[in-house]
Amino acid sequence: MARINLNTDPTLEAVDAAMVAASKEEIARGYVGMSAIGNECDRRTYNDFHWLSPPNFNAKTLKMFADGHLGEDVQAERLRLVKGIQLITHEADGGQIGFKDMGGHYAGHIDGAIVGLLQAPKTWHVWEHKQTAESKFKELSRLIDTLGEKNALREWNQTYYGQAITYMHYSGMKRHYMTVATPGGRNTLSLRTEANPAYAERLVEKARDIITSDKPQNLERISDKPDYYYCQFFCGHADTCHGDTAPQVNCRTCAHSTAHIVEGSNDAVWRCHISPNAHDIPLDIQRQGCPSHIFNPHLLENWAEAIGSDLEGNTISYMHKKTKQTFTNGIGAGFFTSAEIFATYSELLGDDNVNTLKTEFGGVSV
């Protein structure tokens, strides 16, 4: 007889479900984040920038995010209790302290700027706060003990280290002060990190490569193995990056659009080239795409080989690498719109029965 779990609470289960539903309505950021540029997988950062996959966070992860935001506010209040500490967390207008580069395509926001630390009272530091699991907290404590606080961050978390170096680079501050707490903020430790100008410049060039590339295959990914732990458990793009799932339909996955670095602008310009005169695409339109959308063929390269195109007819034809069936991405009888490709199991694209349903009966894949 199956054991019945009597400890479930339908109200709390409904809360979790509502949190997940609400998170799916959140809008992905429109720029390459300075907080993420240190990530070891360049392909993931590219995929984030091009909105390849929808957000898919479970309730536990969303609660971790919330704990991090709350923990940051609590830690800021605690730091301000110390006489002589000055902590600035917002601009005069109430906005976050932030930096932009590459026409607004590369951007980030610091948690704050702090001066008056007892160990370095006259030095301004970039301040960041993190909430982390007990196991990671203990690991960081061990690294501080063995490597020293100024070397621990790079070994502990490459992404956080890249964030620290980048924020020092753009702020002009030469020191970074990170406070790290366990969930709820019950235990806290800190570490200071020094600027690394050479590495900062490498990260800037890395961001530029990601922003200007129209081909993800030009960028390194952390592993070419679909079952690699990072890809399976820590990235939401595994199905499109390694598998045969088509990306979402939006302007950033379209063959006609490109990111343009407009010097002196912070507008993060994306430009559509389907019309005779290229035009800039507003952010809200980028998220929806338009009826003329056809996929950037490089985004289907895992499983489909581009075998022809008709620029005037706005079509790209493919051969499925496994089934050898051919299909065309475009608008018109017998063609598959991008929305249909996204909704269809890839091995059915070009299938005779599916083609018959489309051409003879006007069928649409949903």
Instruction: Name the H helices within the chain.
Output: 10-23, 42-49, 59-79, 134-147, 149-156, 158-171, 197-212, 229-234, 238-241, 283-288, 338-343, 352-361
User: For residue 360, is pLDDT > 80?
Assistant: no
pTM (two decimals)? 0.90
**Greater pLDDT, 67 or 307:** 307
d(CA 44, CA 37): 10
Q: What is the pLDDT of residue 22?
A: 82
Among 302, 289, 282, CA closest to 237: 302
217-231 tens-digit pLDDT? 999 999 999 999 999
Q: What are phi and psi of 74, to 5 degrees?
A: -65, -45
315-322 contacts, C-beta under 8 A, 24 or more apart: 316/255, 318/349, 320/346, 320/347, 320/349, 320/350, 322/244, 322/347
Return the percentage of the chain with pLDDT > 90, whole number. Answer: 77
Q: What is the pLDDT of residue 27?
A: 66
Helix (H, G, I), strand (E, B) or coil at 317: strand
Q: Which domains does the chain have, with CATH numbers?
A: 25-209 (3.90.320.10), 246-361 (no CATH)
Q: What is the pLDDT of residue 55?
A: 77
Q: What is the pLDDT of residue 243?
A: 94
**Greater pLDDT, 362 or 65:** 65
d(CA 189, CA 138): 10
Q: What is the pLDDT of residue 52?
A: 95
Mean pLDDT of 253-267: 93
User: For residue 56, is pLDDT > 80?
Assistant: no
Strand partners, 188: 181
**Greater pLDDT, 235 or 166:** 166
Strand partners, 100: 107
- Average pLDDT of every residue of the chain: 92
Quick one: DSSP state of residue 307? E
Q: What is the pLDDT of residue 288?
A: 86
Mean pLDDT of 89-99: 94
259-265 contacts, C-beta under 8 A, 24 or more apart: 259/49, 259/105, 259/211, 259/212, 260/103, 261/102, 261/103, 261/105, 261/208, 261/211, 261/212, 262/103, 263/103, 264/103, 265/103, 265/104
62 confidence band (pLDDT: 50, 70, 90): confident
14 contacts 21 by C-beta, under 8 angstroms: no
253 contacts 290 by C-beta, under 8 angstroms: no
User: For residue 312, is pLDDT > 90?
Assistant: no
d(CA 130, CA 25): 25
Give percent helix, percent strand, percent coil of the chain, each to the nearest 5.
40, 20, 40
Q: What are phi and psi of 130, to 5 degrees?
A: -130, 140
Provide the pairing of β-strand 175-181 with 125-131.
Answer: parallel
Q: What is the pLDDT of residue 351?
A: 87
Judged by average pLDDT, the poorest of 64-73, 131-140, 163-172 is: 64-73
Judged by average pLDDT, the poorest of 43-52, 303-312, 353-362 is: 353-362
User: For residue 147, is pLDDT > 70?
Assistant: yes
349 confidence band (pLDDT: 50, 70, 90): very high
User: For residue 103, is pLDDT > 90?
Assistant: yes
What is the distance between the terminal CA atoms of the chain, rounded to a whole angstrom? Answer: 40
d(CA 126, CA 41): 25
User: For residue 110, is pLDDT > 90?
Assistant: yes
**Greater pLDDT, 31 or 56:** 31
